[in-house]
């Protein structure tokens, strides 16, 4: 990957405002107003109160606007929010109010959604790795939609959630994803066909198939490849006498970090065209499971510079240590995979920029955020200054450790 | 790194029992009794109660025995326990009772030690990255020993902890370490010499130097190289009119995972010989900061198998998913760096062993523990079985996330 300048130039083009022209469910009460790249007026107003750092500030209006934009781009699909991306109660409650559905990974996530008013019929237990007792508890709570990718899992579901609807996750490759997935989830299409028949034999309702093109997927055509595979399997399953009807498109919709990404409309148009072209007979029911795509650009993480140093007087590159690092919010900088845009108090102060390594506050040497990336920050930067990481609404609070090195988990404010 | 069989063969040599022949401070009240590799009688008795999984069980007698063994191996050194390795109050309290000192990374760690009865004069604020207000708070609590590696940090210490003793961390390479450190900590020896003079100018007491040879350091000669660098710097500092007296040997002492590691006596003898050979004049005061070396082999992590699957019928290698993964305890499997020995309920049941990929329970594809490592587990293994990871007393509970995917942080029991 080519090194990128991460820093947001205040003069650069503004982040794209989400399209709001055809909200399908309700009118957006408070459309977000962007005052700088990655920063809404509400985020800026909250940060102006100088909250203790590190902290995340999430503008729920951005989440709502993203939700409506996705609905407009892909009106046929039911939107199941991937709760793991950010399970904050105010955020989940807002989505419940909008009529969203929820893709859940565990019983605690299920209970969270139900406690906030979600209908159990609108929840999917989307983790392919579930304890038998958790399947039973989910069934007891009214869930009837379960993911699987293995025979042992099917048997657990058949025993503890009899008659439920199940979908099989298939393996696809993840070219184009900035946070690609391993082979951990899914099975081969050949095995999926066998397992779907097996599901029917076990008294379950094998409703369809799912896949995942990889998180922060920047290539919309990746859904095409996966959909072709699914359409082919649908034909095979129909030949077997089954009636598959559900295509779960998974997650992977990107958020805007440093580089522009295609608009959600581009993804929607591509997926709709591929479905129309590839599937015979009645149009399949579509599910989409956005996490990052709904909440990523809704958050800004405010941190404090703790130390600026050099390893030797002869080195031009400085080390900038923040009070936020890989163990209290910025886990997705592992391997420098996700590159958040940055802004500081001193941007544009005329001192110029110089190269830095950006690191977290712990005594752990893997707690380095960006080393290979060509990050440049003001030469005037010093301890006590504030540094903001943009588009940090997803996968930050939840990855935070319980208190590694004694540092508290990431605080968060929902405005 | 050559792939290793991780599984503990019940017929293999037992893990080395810590030497207890010359405890310097007190008699060990309850020497640990090993009933299997990595498992003491007390751990086994607790696990026999079938505690909810996943959980860590730590035998504090092992910690105590390790502490005495280190003292016996390196009687000249003051032992500062690196609290970050495992800050559990019962564990820290046991070490306070033994007369241990404490290397702390943050104000919460300092407050924890003080609340458990540690003397502030026995605490070092060992993190080189400290907020000014945390330095002030530590000074107010009575701490007078601070680490630094940069001029800006020195200025903060001089202002907020006037007159304190300071030691400068120098950069060394980490050959031989299984968890090597980056260049995040320390400065060049040339800069260290300048900064030590600067410390004196600022009214601080520049007492010495520190280094770190990398965590889980399996090559005892690595301390030699670093000590030679420090001895050379001592000569330079004396020529500058300073009187350095403290050598902080850092951490890095290994614990026993799959492969044998040299006994702590070997490290002690090597360090003592190097110090005697390299340092002129009065013997320096020595500090050692063990974390993993004191608590690693004191813990066992009990997990439950959630799913055993194949990705295709043609694949021999199974996927085994546990209820413990990278986000609820096993963070140090990142890059398959730390390879914990494994044991299951079904070991030796006659079904034979087969290759597996071992993974955690979350919907995150990086939550894979061992893929390249040639892990082999019983062919009879299935969901509901228990699997134990040995030598997991260090860096497990604290790295756990607050609840990624809704999974609770790692529970722990101290026996």
Q: A186 and A272: one domain?
A: yes
Burial of residue A334 (CB within 10 Å: 0-12, 13-18, 19+) is middle
What is the domain-level CATH number for residue B141? 3.20.20.10
Which positions in chain A touch B159 (Cβ < 8 Å)?
none
Distance from CA of B300 to the nearest CA of A (A): 20
Same domain, A217 and A227: yes
Q: Work out the minimum CA distance from A183 to partner chain B, whole angstroms.
A: 8
Q: Do A117 and A203 fall within a single domain?
A: yes
pLDDT, average across residues A336-348: 93
Chain A neighbors of B407, CB-CB under 8 A: 106, 108
B248 plus B130 within the same structural domain: yes
If asked whether residues B141 and B198 sit together in one domain, one would say yes
Does a structural domain hold residue B56?
no
How would DSSP label each residue in B334-380?
GGG-S---EEETTTTSSS-EEEEEEE-SSS-TT-EEEEEEEEEEETT
Show the CA angle centred on residue A289, arms to residues A286 and A290, nearest 5°: 130
CATH code of residue B323:
2.40.37.10
**Spatial distance between the Cα atoms of B277 and A50, rounded to a whole number of angstroms:** 55
Please tell me the predicted confidence (pLDDT) of residue B205: 98
Partner residue opposite A130 with nearest CB, options B306, B359, B367: B306
Interface test with B, best of A116, A129, A324 (most B CBs within 10 A): A129
> Of A270, A296, A322, which one is at a domain's C-terminal end?
A296
Let me know: does A9 contact A60? Beta carbons within 8 Å: no
Give A128's contacts in chain B (Cβ within 8 Å). 307
Same domain, yes or no: B148 and B235: yes
pLDDT digits (tens, 9 = 90+) for A286-318: 999 999 999 999 999 999 999 999 999 999 999
Residues B286, B141 share a domain: yes
Is the CB of A180 inside 8 Å of chain B's CB atoms?
yes
Domain boundary residue, one of B264, B290, B316: B290
Q: Are residues A55 and A69 in the same domain?
A: no
What's the pLDDT tens digit per position in A360-377?
A: 999 998 999 999 999 999
Using the structure block, give the residue that is written with the tokens 């420098």.
Answer: A336
Tell me, yes or no, whether A334 and A275 share the same domain: no
Query: What is the ipTM for the molecules in this complex?
Result: 0.89
Q: How many CB atoms lie within 10 A of CB B109?
A: 26
Digit-coded pLDDT (tens) for A132-144: 999 999 999 999 9
| H and E: helices and strands count for chain A | 10, 20
pLDDT at B322: 98
Q: How many angstroms separate the most distant Cα atoms in chain B?
A: 74
Inter-chain contact B311–A171, Cβ cutoff 8 Å? Answer: yes
Long-range contacts of A156-161 (CB under 8 A, 24+ apart): A156/A130, A156/A132, A156/B383, A157/A130, A157/A204, A158/A199, A158/A202, A158/A203, A158/A204, A159/A132, A160/A132, A160/A133, A160/A135, A160/A136, A161/A135, A161/A136
Q: How confident is the model at residue A17 (pLDDT cuts 50, 70, 90)?
A: very low
Residues B268 and B383 occupy one common structural domain = no
Number of domains observed in the structure of chain A: 2
Which residue among A269, A296, A323 closes a domain? A296
Nearest residue in chain B measured CA to CA from A385: B131
Question: Which residues of A are catalytic, by number?
Answer: 363
Task: Tell me whether strands B299-309 and B318-322 are parallel, antiparallel or unpaired.
Answer: antiparallel
Q: Which residue of A has its CA nearest to B384?
A: A131
CB atoms within 10 A of CB A163: 12
What confidence tens digit (pLDDT) does each residue in A20-70 have?
333 334 445 578 999 999 999 999 999 999 999 999 999 999 999 999 999
Segment 32-91 of chain A within 8 Å of chain B by CB: 82-84, 87
Which residue out of A406, A407, A411 would a mutagenesis test of the B interface target, given it has the greatest number of B Cβ atoms within 10 Å? A406
- Chain-chain contact of B407 with A180 (C-beta, under 8 angstroms): no
> Which residue in B306, B312, B357 is closest to A129 by CB distance?
B306
- What is the C-alpha separation between A66 and A218, in angstroms, rounded? 17
Q: Is B363 a residue of the active site?
A: yes
Domain holding B193, by residue range, is 126-290
Q: What per-residue confidence (pLDDT) applies to A10?
A: 33
Q: Is residue B33 part of a domain?
A: no
Helix (H/G/I), strand (E/B), else coil: A78: strand
Q: Specify the pLDDT at position B11.
A: 35
pLDDT of residue B49: 97
Chain B hits for A104, Cβ within 8 Å: 406
Same domain, A341 and A280: no
- Residue B356 resides in a domain: yes
In this complex, which of B107, B156, B188 lies closest to A312 when CB atoms are compared?
A: B188
The token pair at B354 is 């087969």
Number of CB pairs, chain A paired with chain B, less than 8 A apart: 212
In B251-270, the residues whose Cβ lies within 8 Å of chain A are none
State which H helix or E strand residue A61 sits in. Answer: helix A60-73
CA distance A404 to B109: 10
pLDDT digits (tens, 9 = 90+) for A277-292: 999 888 999 999 999 9
Q: How far apart are CA B78 and CA B246, in angstroms?
A: 11
Same domain, residue pair A284 and A137: yes
Does the CB of B126 have a partner CB in chain A at under 8 Å? yes
For residue B271, the model assigns a pLDDT of 94
Q: Quick check: is B331 in a domain?
A: yes
- Separation of alpha carbons A339 and A259, rounded Å: 9
Is B279 within 8 Å of chain A by CB?
no
Q: The tokens of A393 are what?
A: 């609404």
> Mean pLDDT per segment of 10 residues, for chain B of length 415 residues?
30 32 45 94 97 98 96 96 97 98 98 98 98 98 98 98 98 69 88 98 98 86 91 97 97 83 90 95 94 96 98 94 96 89 96 97 94 96 98 95 94 97
Contact state of A309 with B150 under an 8 Å Cβ cutoff: yes
Say if B120 falls within a structural domain.
no
pLDDT for position A175 = 67
Report whether pLDDT(A4) > 70. no
- Per-residue pLDDT tens for A234-257? 999 999 999 999 999 998 888 888
- Among chain A residues, the shortest Cα distance to B400 is held by A401
* CB contacts, 8 Å: B135 with chain A: none
The H-assigned helical ranges of B76-126 are: 89-97, 107-115
Q: Examine the pLDDT at A180 and tell me if it is beyond 70.
A: no
């Amino acid at each position: 990957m080519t090194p990128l300048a991460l820093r947001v130039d205040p003069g650069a083009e503004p982040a794209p405002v989400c399209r709001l022209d055809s909200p399908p469910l309700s009118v957006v009460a408070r459309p977000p107003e962007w005052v700088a790249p990655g920063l809404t007026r509400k985020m800026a107003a909250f940060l102006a109160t100088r909250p203790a750092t590190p902290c995340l500030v999430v503008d729920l209006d951005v989440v709502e606007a993203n939700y409506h934009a996705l609905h407009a781009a892909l009106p046929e699909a039911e939107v199941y929010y991937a709760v793991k991306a950010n399970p904050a109660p105010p955020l989940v409650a807002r989505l419940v109010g909008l009529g969203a559905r929820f893709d859940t990974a565990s019983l605690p996530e299920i209970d969270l959604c139900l406690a906030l008013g979600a209908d159990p019929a609108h929840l999917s237990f989307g983790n392919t790795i579930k304890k038998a007792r958790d399947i039973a508890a989910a069934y007891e709570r009214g869930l009837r939609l379960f993911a699987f990718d293995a025979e042992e899992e099917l048997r657990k579901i058949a025993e503890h959630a009899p008659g439920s609807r199940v979908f099989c996750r298939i393996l696809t490759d993840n070219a184009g994803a900035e946070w690609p997935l391993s082979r951990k989830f899914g099975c081969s299409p050949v095995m999926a066909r066998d397992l779907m028949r097996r599901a029917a034999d076990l008294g379950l309702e094998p409703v369809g198939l799912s896949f995942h093109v990889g998180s922060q997927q920047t290539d919309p055509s990746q859904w095409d490849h996966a959909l072709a595979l699914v359409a082919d399997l649908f034909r095979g399953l129909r030949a077997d006498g089954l009636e598959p009807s559900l295509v779960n498109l998974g997650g992977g919709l990107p958020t805007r970090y440093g580089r522009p990404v295609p608009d959600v409309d581009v993804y929607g148009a591509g997926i709709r065209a591929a479905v129309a072209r590839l599937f015979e007979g009645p149009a399949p029911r579509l599910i989409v499971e956005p996490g990052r795509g709904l909440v990523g650009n809704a958050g800004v993480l405010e941190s404090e510079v703790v130390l600026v140093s050099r390893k030797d007087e002869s080195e031009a590159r400085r080390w900038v240590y923040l009070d936020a690092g890989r163990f209290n919010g910025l886990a997705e900088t592992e391997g420098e995979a996700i590159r958040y845009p940055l802004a500081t108090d001193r941007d544009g102060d005329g001192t110029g920029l110089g190269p830095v390594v950006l690191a977290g506050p712990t005594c752990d040497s893997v707690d380095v955020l960006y080393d290979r990336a060509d990050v440049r920050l003001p030469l005037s930067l010093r301890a006590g200054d504030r540094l903001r990481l943009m588009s940090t609404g997803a996968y930050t609070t939840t990855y935070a450790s319980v208190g590694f090195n004694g540092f508290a988990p990431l605080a968060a404010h929902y405005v």
